Amino acid sequence: MAPTAVSYASYADVPYYRRQWFFWLMWFVFSPIAIGILLSGDVYYRRKGQVRNFGLANRVVAGLTAPLWLLALLSGMPSILALVTYSGAGLLVLFVARMAWTNRAG
């Protein structure tokens, strides 16, 4: 299922914290904020003149990476190692989920 058009008339109407650029910035700066954004609502982007939202696959990825982040945090690893571990695992899960989503049958 492809992302659907949403009710915003223009990308300028989308709050900054729901825009794609802000989501990716938070993903690399402080990933828990990006996960919270995805789990609490939609992230929007502009495509072919329409405002679109991230699909279900992105929410699934956030749901799968949140426990990884929590595990890294609670395991007592130094913060840099936890950040690298979480970011690497999150990007790997994101890549695999995206590939599976785009290559699905039907």
- Tell me the per-residue pLDDT of 26-77, one tens digit each, with 9 for 90 and over: 877 777 788 788 878 888 888 888 888 887 777 777 677 777 767 766 776 6
Please report which confidence band the pLDDT of residue 17 belongs to, taking 50, 70 and 90 as the band edges: very high
* Length of the chain (residues): 106
Task: Please report where in the chains the tokens 């939609």 appear, as a residue.
Answer: 42
Task: Give whole-number Cα distances, 65 to 11, 87, 105, in Å.
Answer: 28, 9, 25
**Spatial CA neighbour of 6 closest among 45, 65, 51:** 51
Amino acid at the residue 1:
M
CB contact burial 46-55 (16+ within 10 A = b; e otherwise)? eeeeebbbbe
pTM of the model: 0.58
